[in-house]
Amino acid sequence: MKELEELEKLRGKIHLVFPSYITHIRFPRYKNMAAGARIDFDFPVTALVGSNGSGKTSVLNALYGAPIRKSTGEYWFSTKVDPIEEGEGSPNRFIYGHYNKLFKGFVETRKARVRKVRNGRDDPNYWEPTKEAPGDDMVVPVIPAGKVVDGRSLDRWNPVKRKVLYINFRKELSAFDKYFYFGKQPVVSAQNAAATEAKGAKVKASRRIHTKMDQVRYDSNLLARAIAAGDTSELYRNRKIATENRLLTPEELAVVSYVLGREYVEARWLRHRLFKGDGGLSILFKTKHGRYSEAFAGSGEVAVTSCVVQVLDASKGTLLLLDEPEVSLHPGAQERLLAFLAQMAKRKQMQVVFSTHSPHLISALPDDAIKAFHQLADGEFSVIPATHPYAAFRRLGATHGNQVLVIVEDRLAQAVVRQALSTIDDDAARQLFRVEYHPGGASSILTSRIPVLMEGTGHMLVLLDGDQKKVDEISSPDDIPIAENGKLEALILEQVGVRPEFSVDGGASGGNPAQRAAAQRKYLAWVRKNLAYIPTSSPEELVLRAAGLMDEKENGNSQACKVRLQALASDNLGAQAGSAETDSYGDVLLGMHRAKSDELKEVAKRLMAYLATVKPASAV
């Protein structure tokens, strides 16, 4: 996604480009977050991913209350049913980092929940900045006496000054939807109205409203008057029907059309007091096929339009918080919404943070922009600082597909990879790998299997024994001139060690030269990306090193290591160990010494390095 690629160019200087950028937030004590949980905002667009109730919205609430004159208490407050519990001398609080230009460094501001008298009333849900607390690992800066640093009070760094735009997509409903699906039924019952009519009495307009449909029909007449006027001049009972009445600007309309994948000719935006509301939103859409209001539009159309209008109207440097922006949007619209948000982040230096359950909103994001919430044994939630999109998909319950197939030479190599995966802390990331061994060994894999694999789809890593490695880096076919096509076979033999078998036209005559060269180039490109090696000559050597049983005279000698491991397995078995018993014994040794094996950690590192090159396909 080119919009995200543009933001990538700002790495390392985001805090200088984005005004009042929040670099991180941490929680010594806050709701159901684990003590000390921390989120670093390494990228201007950040996704909070996790199950329901994991704390994503709570983090958005904290971020909302971070800037000056903003309070988290607007969204999180104590009630008799849900009281907020405070520790003895340990209030609920969060600490966030930001860059102070005059101080020329990163500083932290602490906000805590305190009781305060405001407007003559006791307010137990007020959040205010407090002095630095060394107990919360805050650093008290050394500032010469009498020196004034802008942005700092006597004993604390002041909150950042920036606008906040918080959009909860679950609440972005039209006036019609709010009334028709959630509003109260009209007070006058149909039975009473019928009795009144039976007596021949004159029925007032209000008495003719028996159902919600009646109310909608009645108010639609007033709304039609406002639409026809095209402004806010129309009155009803001496009050304006609409407080806002305008057509979307060309830019607003173009963005809405782009995100939703529909071509709108125009759209009219109205804020009004109809449908028993105050400040409700109605949108009249027009396409080349006709005109319709929000009553017949999809809820996603209204939500996206509202979001686009608000974001385009937001000032430079706004902190944009979105709660579940995927609501009522199809996958393509979700991806295009992300592209729009990334574009606004770049254009307006907006820091964007959103919570989501949708794989489509995170598929294009870099790993460190995806913060996965996971539950600890004590029920509290911590945050994984960087998560591959596929791992995040699994945390969201998407368990099908998206796996990396790792192909190795034999059973013991398979055990090595599985043991290496066990050293990875992220369970969702571990589950992304499936390990298979190819009975034919390295030569068969390189000669015949890779030419087949490279024609398929999916993510595959061939991980061979270290003694098969010929060069540190395989050449890129893009760097080889067409005139040197005749040297490709020799180059592959030199760098990979085999002459691959390709299916090309020509048979006994030697094959079509152009087809063969194309296949050879494709082979080079594939192995350059998808071929790696374990850090020892063989899995047997890796096992011996992990267990501390390696004789350095056998260093790099795969055959000697095989013989030695088999001898150890035979001693343990009390009989001659076959290949299966030797492999099983090697697996047990690895399991016993897994935690201290640098070689296993290196294998895990290589697996994760390959995973980092894998990204889901994007529709944008």
Domains and CATH numbers, the chain: 2-169+312-384 (3.40.50.300), 175-296 (no CATH), 403-620 (no CATH)
Model pLDDT, residue 192: 56
**Cα gap 549→122, rounded to integer Å:** 70
According to the model, what pLDDT value does residue 119 have?
Answer: 75
- pLDDT, residue 508, reads 46
- Rounded distance, CA 271 to CA 243, Å? 5
Task: Determine phi and psi for 161, rounding to 5 degrees.
Answer: -100, 110
**516: how many CB neighbours lie within 10 A of its CB?**
18
The pLDDT of residue 99 is 97
d(CA 86, CA 115): 11
The DSSP symbol for 187 reads S
Q: Say how far apart CA 426 and CA 394 lie, in whole Å.
A: 11
CA distance 259 to 333: 5
Instruction: Provide the sign of the torsion angle of the four alpha carbons 148, 154, 155, 159, taken in this order.
Output: negative
Which pLDDT score is estimated for 211?
83
Q: Which residues lie below 8 Å from residue 292, measured CB to CB, with a gap of 6+? A: 284, 285
Give the global pTM: 0.80
DSSP secondary structure letter of residue 449: I
| Residues β-bridged to residue 125 | none
Q: Determine contact, residues 379/563, Cβ cutoff 8 Å.
A: no
Grouped pLDDT means (10 residues each) for the chain, 620 residues: 93 94 97 95 97 93 96 84 74 96 93 80 84 92 84 93 94 74 69 53 59 80 83 86 90 96 92 77 88 71 93 98 92 95 98 95 94 92 92 77 89 97 92 92 94 89 97 96 95 96 67 89 97 97 96 92 96 94 96 95 96 75
Dihedral sign for Cα atoms in the order 495, 499, 504, 510: positive
- For the four alpha carbons of 587, 590, 595 and 597, in that order, the dihedral sign comes to negative
DSSP class of residue 546? H
Distance CA 133, CA 144 (A): 20
Distances (CA, A) of 313 to 244, 251, 308, 310, 348: 15, 11, 8, 5, 10
Tally of CB atoms within 10 A around 237: 5
Let me know: does 485 contact 512? Beta carbons within 8 Å.
Answer: no
First-residue to last-residue Cα distance in the chain:
6
Residue 22, SS3? strand
């094959």: which residue's tokens? 511
Q: Output DSSP code: residue 424.
A: -
Which amino acid, residue 237? R
